[in-house]
């Protein structure tokens, strides 16, 4: 009913060879793309590329810069992704007050708000930043028009 095959047969079919060739080519393309980003100052960490600006801008202009780079403001998924500088992150409640969303529309599953934050002091604090950077929980809500450096993230 079933035909037995010789498992010691190491020959490959033409289809298998073509698949291996395509996979190798795809890997080469990805490695070349990664190298180009790193040469332009991006940092590779845990399957993502990060760009930390050297200038300051508003949250909206910072996001626009990231989008033009083929990325978006950083979405923090772990403590290791937090920079030790004051920076914009991809968190906002501009759509609905006190409903914080990442730039991809998802709700944070992990948060590092500083004690008493977010507090919307004097109203209009709709953008997230790393502010109390010497503390374990360092997020602050801030006016989006404030100028900060920012972090872009490009998922690979």
The 3-class SS string of the chain reads: CCCCCCCCCCCCCHHHHHHHHHHHHHHHHHHHHHHHHHHCCCEEECCEEEEECCCCECHHHHHHHHHHCCCEECCCCCHHHCCCCCEEEEEECCCCCCCCEECCCCCCCCCCECCCCCCCCCCCCCEEEECCCCCCCCEEEECCCCCEEEEEEEEC
Q: Are residues 25 and 68 in the same domain?
A: no
Q: Does residue 65 form part of some domain?
A: yes
Q: Does residue 33 form part of some domain?
A: yes
Q: Does residue 50 form part of some domain?
A: yes
Domain that holds residue 82: 45-155
Q: Are residues 126 and 146 in the same domain?
A: yes
Q: For the range 51-57, what are the long-range contacts, defined as Cβ-Cβ under 8 Å and sequence gap of 24 or more?
A: 51/151, 51/152, 51/154, 52/83, 52/85, 52/87, 52/149, 52/150, 52/151, 53/149, 53/150, 53/151, 53/152, 54/149, 55/149, 56/147, 56/148, 56/149, 57/147, 57/148, 57/150
User: Over the stretch 69-109, which tens digit does the pLDDT of each residue have?
Assistant: 999 999 999 988 887 789 999 999 999 999 999 999 999 99
pTM exceeds 0.75 for this model: yes
Task: Give 8's pLDDT tier (boundaries 50, 70, 90).
Answer: low
Mean pLDDT confidence for 8-15: 61
Q: Does residue 108 form part of some domain?
A: yes
- Given a contact cutoff of 8 angstroms between Cβ atoms, the answer to whether 75 and 110 are in contact is no
Q: Are residues 94 and 28 in the same domain?
A: no
Q: Are residues 60 and 104 in the same domain?
A: yes
How many structural domains is the chain composed of? 2
Q: Are residues 60 and 126 in the same domain?
A: yes
Q: Does residue 66 form part of some domain?
A: yes
Q: Does residue 7 form part of some domain?
A: no
């Amino acid at each position: 009913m079933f035909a037995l095959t010789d498992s010691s047969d190491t020959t490959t079919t033409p289809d298998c060879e073509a698949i291996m060739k395509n996979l190798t080519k795809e890997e080469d393309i990805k490695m070349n793309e990664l190298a180009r980003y790193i040469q332009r100052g991006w940092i590779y960490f845990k399957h993502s590329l990060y760009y930390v600006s050297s200038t300051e801008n508003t949250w909206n202009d910072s996001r626009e810069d990231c989008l033009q780079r083929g990325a978006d403001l950083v979405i923090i998924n772990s403590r290791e992704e937090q920079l030790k500088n004051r920076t914009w992150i991809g968190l906002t409640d501009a759509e609905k007050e006190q409903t914080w969303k990442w730039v991809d529309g998802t709700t944070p599953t992990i948060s590092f708000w500083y004690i008493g934050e977010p507090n919307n002091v004097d109203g209009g604090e709709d953008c997230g930043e790393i502010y109390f950077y010497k503390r374990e929980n360092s997020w602050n809500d801030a006016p989006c028009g404030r100028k900060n450096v920012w972090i872009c993230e490009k998922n690979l």
